[in-house]
Amino acid sequence: MATSHVRFRALAVVLGAMAWVGPQLAWTQQVMGSKEIAGGLKGHAPTAASPVDSNDEGIRGFSVKPLDTPDPMPPRAVNLNIPFEINSDRLQPGASRQLDELAAALSDPALISSNVEIVGHTDSSGAAAYNLRLSQKRAEAVRSYLVTRKGIDAGRITPVGRGEEEPVPGTDPAAPQNRRVEVRLVDDGQRSP
C-alpha cells in the first residue's frame, strides 16, 4: 500500500510540473504569420489569432490587439516569440520559422519602404546591465538574420535593446513572456512633399 501511495505522489508531482511547464511550452511554440505581422505594423490587425498562412501545420499565431484596446503596446508594433539559447544571442533552430514570417511581412508591398525597430526584451532574471546587453545582442541577431538570410535592407532595421525595462503589462517581471522581440514601425516610408 505504501508503494502505491509513493507512486501516486510521484505521478502527482510530475503532472503538477507538467501543468506548470505547459504554458511556457505553449508560449515557445507559437508563430505569428506574415499577414498578422504586417497587419499589426500597419495598425489594423485582427483581434484574434489566425492560422499561419504559409504552412499547413495549423499553428496559431499571437493575437494583435487593435489600437482602441487598453493594451499599452505602442501603436503599429507586434511582439514576437523568437527563441534564443539560454543566456545567449544565438538563435535556436526553431527561430527561423518566425523570422521567415517576419521577413515576408517586411517584404509586403505596404511595408516595403518602411523602417522598423527590432526591440529585444528580457525577463528580470540576472543583473539589469547584463540583460540590457543581452537584449541588444538579440535584437542585432534578429537584424543579422533578416539582412543576411532574407535580403532585407539593413538600413530599414534598427536594433534596440531594452533589457528588463518594459515587461509585458500584467505579467511577473520574471515571466518567460517577457523574453521577446518586439517589432515597431518607425516610419511607413511615406515622405511628405
**Length of the chain as a residue count:** 193
Q: Closest by alpha carbon to 59, among 67, 47, 51?
A: 51
- Domain for residue 20, yes or no? no
- Domain for residue 118, yes or no? yes
Q: Are 79 and 180 in contact (CB under 8 A)?
A: yes
Structure confidence by residue, pLDDT tens digits, 143-186: 999 999 999 999 999 999 999 999 999 999 999 889 999 999 99
Dihedral sign for Cα atoms in the order 89, 95, 101, 103: positive
Q: How many domains does the chain fold into?
A: 1
At residue 41 the predicted structure's pLDDT band, cuts being 50, 70 and 90, is confident
Check whether 52 has a pLDDT greater than 60: no
Q: Which one has a higher pLDDT value, 9 or 154?
A: 154
User: What are the b/e assignments for 165-191, b being 16+ CB within 10 Å?
Assistant: ebbbeeeeeebbbbbbbbbbbeeeeee
Residue with cell 509585458: 168
At residue 40 the predicted structure's pLDDT band, cuts being 50, 70 and 90, is confident
- Domain for residue 113, yes or no? yes
Check whether 133 has a pLDDT greater than 80: yes
Rounded mean pLDDT, 74-103: 90
- Domain for residue 11, yes or no? no
CA–CA–CA angle 105, 75, 176 (5° rounding): 75
Q: Is 41 exposed, middle or buried (0-12, 13-18, 19+ CB in 10 A)?
A: buried
- Domain for residue 6, yes or no? no
Rounded mean pLDDT, 118-136: 96
Is pTM beyond 0.75? Reply is no
Domain that holds residue 76: 31-187
CATH assignment at residue 149: 3.30.1330.60
